[in-house]
Amino acid sequence: MYYDFGYKTVDLENCVIVNGTRNFGGRERTDRRTGRVMNNEGRRNFLIELDPEAYEEFQEKGWNVGRFAPREDGEEPNGFLRVTLSYFKVPPIVHMISEGNDTLLDEGRVHILDNVNILNLDMRCTAVNKQNRDGEWKKYAFVDEMWVTVTPDRFATKYANLNHDEDE
């Protein structure tokens, strides 16, 4: 991943979304073991991986980052940055790129990204200062613009030339 800090933004290229954290549709999610609500209805977010060096830099600059438990003893764990996709004030611009076509996804269609194979993710996020549960002020990442390159569905491509019945 490559990142570049601006005045109130950060550009992130070649991001890797942590498995199981995609929630572009904003559905409520609960922990199966504890029953605790992990994500409230309507909140769209995901985690991106940060290598240990990036984690340190984001933390030094005051971003709200977390760290995973190490997979092996002695291994330095990767970190993560929670990214929010909010349509509350200024809607983000979300590009889905497939087979050379750029499709803009609005609030009603962005959920498509929950079920596709993402090849590449680049985005610009705005830092929003918020107070966390411990009373500290941190920078939270909100998507301004996002470019998501996806693997085309091979069956959709295979059958694209067929006439589709409009009544169905």
Whether the predicted pLDDT of 16 surpasses 50: yes
In a domain, 121, yes or no: yes
Whether residue 168 has pLDDT greater than 60: no
The letter for the amino acid at 165 is D
Q: List the domain range (segments joined by +) for residue 31.
A: 2-154
Examine residue 161 and state whether it is found in any structural domain, yes or no.
Answer: no
Q: What is the CATH number of the domain that holds 32?
A: 2.40.50
pLDDT above 90: percentage of residues in the chain:
59
Give 24-69 pLDDT, tens digit per residue.
998 877 777 777 766 777 789 999 999 999 999 999 999 999 998 8
The number of distinct structural domains making up the chain is 1
Asked if residue 160 belongs to a domain, the reply is no
Provide φ and ψ at 167, rounded to 5°.
Answer: -75, -20
Q: What is the per-residue pLDDT across 58-97, written as a single tens digit (0 to 9) for each?
A: 999 999 999 988 777 777 888 999 999 999 888 999 999 9
User: What is the rounded CA–CA span in Å between residue 74 and residue 15?
Assistant: 25
Entry pTM: 0.83
